[in-house]
Structure 1
Amino acid sequence: MIPSVGVMRNHEKKPVIRTVGLTRHYTRNKQTIEAGRGLDLEIAPGELVAFLGPNGAGKSTTLRMLTTLIAPTAGTAEVAGYDVTRDRAAVRRSIGYVGQGNAAGHQYRGRDELFSQARAHGLSRRDARSRTDELLDAFDLTEHADRPVSRLSGGQRRRLDVAIGLVQEPAILFLDEPSTGLDPQNRVNLQEQVRRLNAKLGTTIVLTTHYLEEADALAGRVIVIDHGRTIADDTAAALKSSLGDLVSLEFGSAAHAMAGAAGADRIPGAHVTVTDTVVSVRAPFGRDAAPGLVADLAAAGTPVTRLEVVGPTLDDVFLNLTGRSLRESNETASAVDAADIAGDQNEGAAA
């Protein structure tokens, strides 16, 4: 069980995160790179929101602006009621942040890192020790707590990163690619910790990810970002249902396939394509329409030899919105990534 230290929650309807026209530009090799383009956003208390998009889409840039690590080029943002430009210290006191890199020094013990963070947040030595023990237990790190961080596994380090981000029990937690580099088991374990934190304590959680399954499994709300701009914002279920199921019908001949396509075209909202002897039908509630379609085609003398129905994925949603696969887009990191990291290092140090 993730412990609580009695931090008061904001139960008002007022958004805890609000942006208007949030924009971030970089100059790289005399070219302007738009990592964030006029983002308008409201996140209510207790939401679990995933920013989904390919590498270089602007997800991490958005998180870094919201956590005051880099300043917006234009627009405004408020986090926990504080302006991210004018009230950076107040924002930082109100949030937890887990970046992509390791938060703990490699030569230090995990226990010492947690204790130091607790003291830095103003806890007494006694409370800091208690909080450290609670977090070590919550993230299954107690037996590894006295090892140097360099001797921890990747999953153990990542859990320690999240524990450090939770030292002051923030009402708002930002997680930047929390599962990157983790094996499947540790990824599932970390996702479970995030769910428990949101469900048990009502923590508002905003995470970035390019893992489709992670966004689908975790988030109550998915914001799809591409080229620095929001292109979709809804629940994962709503985004997928708006696209519809994919029904694949195989026939014994190309002539039968053409006749099958004509029949499938009568399904409301259907998008039909034919490849040789296979008819592909993308339609809302295609799963429900498939049995009746197969029966009608058989009665008309064009029997289906193979039927497959596949529910839509978030990758299908991204493909429909952009014309390319999210999985394929992630294979190549764009120039935004390098510029973003450089900007983070320079401006974060200045802050």
Structure 2
Amino acid sequence: MDSPHGAAVKAEDFGLKGPRGWAFRGVGIDAAPGSLIAVEGPSGSGRTCLLLALTGRMKPTRGHAEVGGHRLPKRMTAVRRIAALGPVTGVNELDQALTVAEQLREGALLQRHYGAPVRAMLRPRAERRAAAEARIAAALEAAGLDLATLPKGGRTSVRDLERLESVRLSVAIALLGSPGLLALDDLDLKLSDTERAEAWNLLRSVAARGITVLAVCSEAPADAIVLRTSPKEPDGSAGPDAPAVAQGDADAEAEAEADAGAGSGSEIDTKHDTKSVSENDDTKGADDALAEAGRA
């Protein structure tokens, strides 16, 4: 893999409002490259929408953010180029019909096709294949996934993976593109305490390589930079114990996520979205990505 260059993540009064209310609002952060950032909160509190907005997949409606020097919402396409997105239900998921080896090869192929310079496409086929295999091997090592430990090695079906193995595979695929920001949704979903600790250790190791990590979770580790989300009260104010950092509405989040998943697809693909949308992020790409929930 290429040498990683982590993306600084900054936001001020960052928010997204849909027809049913705020998915999240009032988010503020100033994280250096290589930071470990956790978005902590209950399901339905705007966590996923915040992750999608900070990775350039959903258009915010309030405030601004900056990822790797690219300002949101104006430079959403540029942010998508440097932000790799792990599985998000209904948006970007592992293909359960593939084997692990097939999923990795597909990821490498897409990265080569959409992310590699033109001169790389002109190299001999054997050289390209060797380069892809080396990239996959490096990504697997960084993700801590040893194919030899799987029941059928690389021929193991994705659907047969344990939850932590799926997380590691997702991280490996994301790292194929040498991103500046790695973002994962529902990191601790269906993980035991031991597995949760392993997952966070994995993300710490990725951050130690210089890549900024952003992970949605129900409980953040003590050493992470934490953004907390909380459901909104009926009167629109934060609950009595809710931090001021961010607040969300379960209905608003669900509708915003559904609109993102129902878009054209080019704005939410983790591997090749950056080449298939207009450079004018304030019009075509952003509107398709967010539909009604995120239009200004």
C-alpha contact (below 8 Å) 1:104/1:110 kept by paired residues: no
Task: Summarize the Cα distance change of 1:337–1:72 in structure 2 as closer, same or farther, 3 Å threshold.
Answer: closer
Task: Summarize the Cα distance change of 1:348–1:155 in structure 2 as closer, same or farther, 3 Å threshold.
Answer: farther
Task: Summarize the Cα distance change of 1:19–1:167 in structure 2 as closer, same or farther, 3 Å threshold.
Answer: same
Deviations 1:115-162 (A, max 9, x none): 221232225432211121233344234123222212222222222122
Task: Give how far 1:209 is off.
Answer: 1.2
| Alignment correspondent of 2:105 | 115
Moved more, 173-182 or 138-147: 138-147
Q: Residue 9 of structure 1 aligns to which amino acid in structure 2?
A: H
C-alpha contact (below 8 Å) 1:22/1:37 kept by paired residues: yes
Q: In 1, distance between residues paired with 2:72 and 2:264?
A: 13
Q: Residue 179 of structure 1 aligns to which amino acid in structure 2?
A: D
Deviations 1:74-103 (A, max 9, x none): 332221122343333321221222134373
2:254 aligned counterpart, secondary structure? helix
Q: In 1, distance between residues paired with 2:93 and 2:201?
A: 21
The reply to whether residue 147 of structure 1 matches residue 156 of structure 2 is yes
> Going by fraction, where is strand more abundant, 1 or 2?
1
Q: In 2, distance between residues paired with 1:320 and 1:85?
A: 31
Counterparts in 2 of 1:278-297, with a 5 A limit?
none
Match of 2:3 among 1, 7, 14: 7
Task: Give how far 1:348 is off.
Answer: 6.3
| Alignment correspondent of 1:125 | 129
The reply to whether residue 224 of structure 1 matches residue 228 of structure 2 is yes
C-alpha contact (below 8 Å) 1:103/1:164 kept by paired residues: no
Deviations 1:191-246 (A, max 9, x none): 221111122x12211222112xxx134x3322222247xxxxxxxxxxxxxxxxxx
| Alignment correspondent of 2:62 | 74
Match of 1:208 among 216, 231, 245: 216
Counterparts in 2 of 1:77-96, with a 5 A limit?
77-96=65-84
Q: Residue 135 of structure 1 aligns to which amino acid in structure 2?
A: A
| Alignment correspondent of 1:24 | 16
Structure 2 unmatched runs, 5+? 117-127, 233-237, 244-248, 266-287, 290-296
Match of 2:48 among 60, 63, 75: 60
Q: In 2, distance between residues paired with 1:34 and 1:169?
A: 33
Question: Rg larger in 1 or in 2?
Answer: 1
The reply to whether residue 188 of structure 1 matches residue 193 of structure 2 is no
Q: Residue 63 of structure 2 aligns to which amino acid in structure 1?
A: G
Task: Summarize the Cα distance change of 1:19–1:348 in structure 2 as closer, same or farther, 3 Å threshold.
Answer: farther
For CA contacts below 8 A with separation 6 or more, give which structure has more relative contact order.
2
Task: Give how far 1:8 is off.
Answer: 4.8
| Alignment correspondent of 1:136 | 140
C-alpha contact (below 8 Å) 2:231/2:250 kept by paired residues: no
Q: In 2, distance between residues paired with 1:194 and 1:320?
A: 32
Q: In 1, distance between residues paired with 2:210 and 2:4?
A: 11
Q: In 2, distance between residues paired with 1:114 and 1:178?
A: 20
Task: Summarize the Cα distance change of 1:103–1:222 in structure 2 as closer, same or farther, 3 Å threshold.
Answer: same
TM-score (norm 1): 0.60
Cα root mean square deviation, aligned: 2.9
Moved more, 84-93 or 202-211: 84-93
C-alpha contact (below 8 Å) 1:119/1:125 kept by paired residues: no
1:105 aligned counterpart, secondary structure? coil
The reply to whether residue 321 of structure 1 matches residue 241 of structure 2 is yes
Q: In 2, distance between residues paired with 1:110 and 1:129?
A: 14
Task: Give how far 1:320 is off.
Answer: 7.8
Task: Summarize the Cα distance change of 1:20–1:184 in structure 2 as closer, same or farther, 3 Å threshold.
Answer: closer
Task: Summarize the Cα distance change of 1:154–1:9 in structure 2 as closer, same or farther, 3 Å threshold.
Answer: closer
Task: Give how far 1:319 is off.
Answer: 9.7
Q: Residue 48 of structure 2 aligns to which amino acid in structure 1?
A: S
The reply to whether residue 156 of structure 1 matches residue 172 of structure 2 is no
TM-score (norm 2): 0.70
Deviations 1:8-65 (A, max 9, x none): 536xxxx8222233221122xxxx3211223333221122121222222222111111
Match of 2:250 among 328, 334, 340: 334
Q: In 2, distance between residues paired with 1:129 and 1:179?
A: 30
1:41 aligned counterpart, secondary structure? strand
Q: Give the count of matched residue pairs.
A: 237
The reply to whether residue 44 of structure 1 matches residue 44 of structure 2 is no
Q: Residue 128 of structure 1 aligns to which amino acid in structure 2?
A: A
C-alpha contact (below 8 Å) 1:9/1:171 kept by paired residues: yes
| Alignment correspondent of 1:266 | none
Q: In 2, distance between residues paired with 1:180 and 1:166?
A: 21
